[in-house]
Amino acid sequence: MVYGAKIIAQALQDLGVQVIFGLPGLPVIDIAQESMNLGINFISFRNEQAAVLAASSYGYLTGKPGVCICVGGPGVLNTFPGIPHAAANCWPLLLLGGSSETHNANKGAFQEMDALPIFSPHAKLALRPPYPEMVPSFVRDAYRAAMFGRPGPAFVDLPANIIMGHFDVERHKLSPLLEAPKAVAPPEKIRSAIEALKTAKAPLVVVGKGAAYGRAEKQIQALIERTGLPFLPTPMGKGVVPDASPHNISAARSTAMKTADVVLLLGARLNWILTFGLPPKWKSGVKIIQVDISADELGKNGHDPSLSIVGDLALVVEQLVNEIGNWRWQGQSSEYYRTLQAAKSKNEEKAAKKASAGKIPMAYEKAFGVIQETLNSLSTPNNGDIVYVSEGAKAMDISRSIFTMEHPRIRLDAGTYATMGVGPAYAIAAYAAYNYPHAEGSAGTRGRKKIVAIEGDSAFGFSAMEVETMGRYRMDVLIFVINNSGLYRGDADSKEKWQQLQDMTVAGSPARPKGLSATSLGYETDYQKIAEVAGGIGLVARTPEELKEATIKGFQAKVPVVVNVIVDTQTDLEMDFSWLDMAPPTDKKKKEQKL
């Protein structure tokens, strides 16, 4: 007789699973324990949402499905945000959810809920094994679905009677799934793409996070170095080609998009991150050569798909490099290139001016400049020995242009689904992927890595208790909470308003936050103290000197560190998000989009 939880754990072991994320409780707690007995690492979180977000990013970093377990009912519902998050980012995720006993169905059983109808529309596959002997094959099918084709989430519902029962089931060891099948492109498609690039007056290569996931950095670097084509990385595509490359024109992003006439799109989709590839942000009539693993993605938003290519990104780019020979773009003296360089210089000068401002509280750019300069002095950036996690509105958006990446898969942010609360979860996942003994995620960038999280004060609040998880597992993560006392921005007089509320409370009057705006947070909240209660170190930095000292101490610490960085409230700035286009298109804009 074999314990049901052990059958499940053995299936995960057979598939090569090294780490499981989750929040244990009946009945899935025994899946965690049986997995640990088999040598699989289990990381227990404080909230299911953080656990599933960690599993999804672990899948991105390793190229194999991240595995998360949770209890049924409310536990499963708490993991639900991770399903569309993984689907939108195209990250492989296997979620194993417990559920009430099948023999108590429709009786009002403990945490009874039929999860399959909820998850089926959003997952690549959602299954419930009816018999214990079918558990291994169902787990394998879900794991394969998450990994093969366009990666995404899969869900297996596991009833309590299957998990906790004892069964006469013969062990049939599963074969591990080491990699997904890969396809090359027809030679004529390669030749057509190259001809379009050679005849372009304003060519542009866009590199997305799919290129990092597909381990295509060597091939794409060879393409850029051989041809000299200008390239633009998406936020998480940074590092596939080193940011230090002279062909990187990310500082002229808007100008490049408006002027390029032929775009080679590698590992990215024409969604909101790339403003759909449509005017007015893009040139009308631009030709798109999209390389994607899924044919369904080609030709979206009205673009002509005739030049686009279906296939594995690394293999297709290798085909392009081989076919293109010694051809090199000769447009360095063109008006297009001069325009790019002028915009790049202008934007870099503007950023440098903000970074050099000496006012207190510090501007975001000044704080990030101090952090980056200090971390670079303590590490070896060219070796990729720091992984950067960032989330929040201003904290994420501003930091992405300041922190340079010379390697792939060392930057994680809110991603395509723009999910908040990912920071601590991602940091834990990165620690496991890079620093655990198996170090699956370290392919191409070997060696232990320091995990650094740049957190907006609002974003940090979503999952701040996961600092205790870091402390419990002795993860020396360094967290900077960029504290402007608000969402997007704080109040100019938030200190006075906050003090008035405190005075009213002390006096026994009801504290009604009449003066606080909808975006106000507690004034200069002591976020650093959460590290102290978790066995870590909490620090506060108000000046560049204090921030430098805190960064050094945090980098060298062997426990979690939270640095509370007090920055300018940015009250005078317009509240907007540059990538969010909420206004419906005008008649002129509609005509441009049809062209």
**Domain-located, residue 43:** yes
pLDDT in tens, 486-506: 888 777 666 666 666 666 666
Above 70 in pLDDT, residue 55?
Answer: yes
One domain, residues 17 and 110: yes
Percent of the chain with pLDDT over 90: 76
One domain, residues 289 and 375: no
More confident of the two residues 165 and 528: 528
Q: Find the range with the poorest average confidence among 92-96, 124-128, 446-450, 582-586.
A: 582-586
Above 70 in pLDDT, residue 439?
Answer: no
**Mean pLDDT, range 218-232, rounded to an integer:** 97
Q: How many domains does the chain have?
A: 3
Is the omega angle on the peptide bond into residue 242 within 30 degrees of 0, that is, cis? no
pLDDT for res 445: 45
One domain, residues 406 and 438: yes
DSSP H or E stretch at residue 300: none
One domain, residues 130 and 196: no
- What six digits make up the tokens of 218? 């060597």
Nearest by Cα to 85 from 51, 111, 44, 116? 51
Above 50 in pLDDT, residue 509?
Answer: yes
pLDDT in tens, 394-411: 889 889 889 999 999 999
pLDDT in tens, 60-119: 999 999 999 999 999 999 999 999 999 999 999 999 999 988 787 777 878 878 999 999
CA distance 372 to 551: 9
One domain, residues 141 and 191: no
Nearest by Cα to 76 from 48, 35, 110? 48
Above 90 in pLDDT, residue 428?
Answer: yes
pLDDT band for position 350 (cuts 50, 70, 90): confident
Q: Could you tell me whether strands 166-167 and 2-3 are parallel, antiparallel, or unpaired per DSSP bridges? A: antiparallel
Nearest by Cα to 402 from 445, 363, 358? 363
**Domain-located, residue 493:** no
**Mean pLDDT, range 253-266, rounded to an integer:** 96
Q: Find the range with the poorest average confidence among 308-322, 336-350, 459-473.
A: 336-350
Q: Angle 4-14/29-37 helices, nearest 10 degrees?
A: 50
pLDDT for res 572: 60
Average pLDDT of the chain to the nearest whole number? 90
One domain, residues 13 and 60: yes
**Mean pLDDT, range 505-521, rounded to an integer:** 68
CATH number of domain containing 459: 3.40.50.970
pLDDT for res 339: 94
pLDDT in tens, 164-201: 999 988 888 999 998 999 999 999 999 999 999 999 99
CB 168 within 8 A of CB 1: yes
pLDDT for res 443: 40
**Domain-located, residue 490:** no
Q: Which residues form the domain of 162?
A: 2-167
